[in-house]
Structure 1
């Protein structure tokens, strides 16, 4: 069954560099799963984000007739996983894309953006769908404080 699901989802090749699948939860008998990937921020050493998203199975793709698209829903949690060293990051209000994965052939991607809240010394990670026509209101955020308790 996994081979068939993989073949059906070839168009959804992940673009997350350095992403490592760390969990897979089966949600029903037709092969739909929730995948959890760990991704280290490439410009902020010591921060790892875990992104969970829905992966449609072959039977779901066949029954719904939409072969080439996965839902936009996702969840994110980012944490300090070692000493934090902030590299050359975009410090604008728009932030920068940290990583992304395709959710359809062309039209939709799931993105994680990093925004630096300098006043509060916090990194904000936002996961959202980017769609060609309508965008998406489905989003989640996680924050990582840069202050060190007890440090002067």
Structure 2
């Protein structure tokens, strides 16, 4: 189950997003909700979210700052930015900070949300598999290097023994 954290300063927006989508049947668990980025940090710091859905314009800590902090602390987290603003500068800054997608609130539908969430989950799974492959490669390489080191040590000890015998 993919864990989702919802952050929006408007309670009605959170209720709408929560109710527009069948989270459980979609394979997602809504692990928490917060009214600003500062309140959302506890879930981020505890690694409790795989996907962060956040409004951009919020008091205390906005969605862009939350995105920056979330990506710094949990690089694997995927971020879906929501906003009423169609200003391209928000999109550009969000992408620069590591957001995976951006949806305008007035165009948010269950289908658009599902598409964005599914795409982010697939990207996370792909990245997880890449990390597993890299770790296996590192383990294999370390094992080969260790074997080479053992062979070199054995050759060196054999050479030392031959000198002592002479």
Using the size of structure 2 for normalisation, the TM-score is 0.30
The structure whose residues are more often helix, as a share, is 2
Which structure's residues are more often strand, by fraction? 1
TM-score (norm. length: structure 1): 0.32
Task: Please tell me whether Structure 1 or Structure 2 has the larger radius of gyration of its CA atoms.
Answer: 2
